Structures are given as C-alpha cells and as structure tokens.
C-alpha cells in the first residue's frame, strides 16, 4: 500500500464550474477525512466518514460542497459553482482507530485548486 492517494494533484478551473476530487485512503483504514488549507494557514476540517457513513460536517462545508464515500473505500469531494474563495489545497487523510496508533492520521499529497 502506497499511502493516501489524491487525484488530481492540481486543478485550475474557471469560476462557476464544478470540480470533483478523489481520495483513495490506505486500504485497511475505515475512517476518511477531508481538510482544506489556504496559504499560510493550518488545515481546517471539512468532513469525516466512518466506512460509508458521513458522520460529521463542518460549517465550512457550504451547500455547494458535497462529499461521498459510496462503498466505504475511496471518497469524492465535489464543489459546485466554484468561487475564487474556494482556491485552496484540499487534503484527504485516513486512519484506522481515531488516530490512536503511532501513525495517527495519514495525509495524502493534496489537490491544489485554483479558481480563476
């Protein structure tokens, strides 16, 4: 297993377009998280799945954002009608046990979104 994979690595889109990102977690991890990081800031929590169930959503996740994890494996994050303020690095993380092991939470390389 090569860790948490995210695709694409970079995405440039025009304002108003829809975009979708994919995250493949470590295969045995049942928990999957999405975070957003803007320049010069720490990551901010967006949402979290345990298996296929979305158990928590941040107030940051407006109605233009939707996340799914249909079979409890990979996850997608869709942003509809993108705005310039959506430009950020979108990070996916996974864990097996609420981050209680020495590995904690493993982050992917992220998808950098630029809205022009």
Partner 1 sequence: ELKVEQNPLFLSMQEGKNYTIYCNYSTTSDRLYWYRQDPGKSLESLFVLLSNGAVKQEGRLMASLDTKARLSTLHITAAVHDLSATYFCAVAAANFGNEKLTFGTGTRLTIIP
- For residue 16, state whether it binds partner 1 (rule: CB under 8 A): no
Determine if 56 is a binding residue for partner 1 (CB under 8 A): yes
User: Residues near 13 by Cβ (< 8 Å), separated by ≥ 6?
Assistant: 19, 82, 113, 114, 115, 116
| Position 30 contacts partner 1 (CB under 8 A) | no
Q: Is residue 42 close enough to count as binding partner 1 by CB under 8 A? A: yes
Rg of the chain on CA atoms, in Å: 13
Nearer to partner 1, 21 or 35 (CB): 35
- Smallest gap from Cβ 29 to partner 1, in A, equals 12
Q: Work out whether 54 is an interface residue with partner 1 (CB under 8 A).
A: no
**69-105 burial, b if ≥16 CB within 10 A, otherwise e?**
beeeebbebebeebeeebbbbbbbbbbbeeeeeeeeb
Residues that bind partner 1 in the complex, under the rule CB under 8 A:
31, 33, 35, 40-45, 48, 50, 55-56, 58, 91, 98-110, 112
């Amino acid at each position: 297993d090569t860790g948490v994979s995210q695709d694409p690595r970079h995405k440039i889109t025009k304002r108003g377009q829809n975009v979708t990102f994919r995250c493949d977690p470590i295969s045995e991890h049942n928990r999957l998280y999405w975070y957003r990081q803007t320049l010069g800031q720490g990551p901010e929590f967006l949402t979290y799945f345990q298996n296929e169930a979305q158990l928590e959503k941040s107030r940051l996740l407006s109605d233009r954002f939707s996340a799914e994890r249909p079979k409890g494996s990979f996850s997608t994050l869709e942003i509809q009608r993108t705005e310039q303020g959506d430009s950020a690095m979108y990070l996916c993380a996974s864990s097996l046990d609420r981050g209680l092991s020495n590995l904690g939470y493993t982050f992917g390389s992220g998808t950098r979104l630029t809205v022009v």
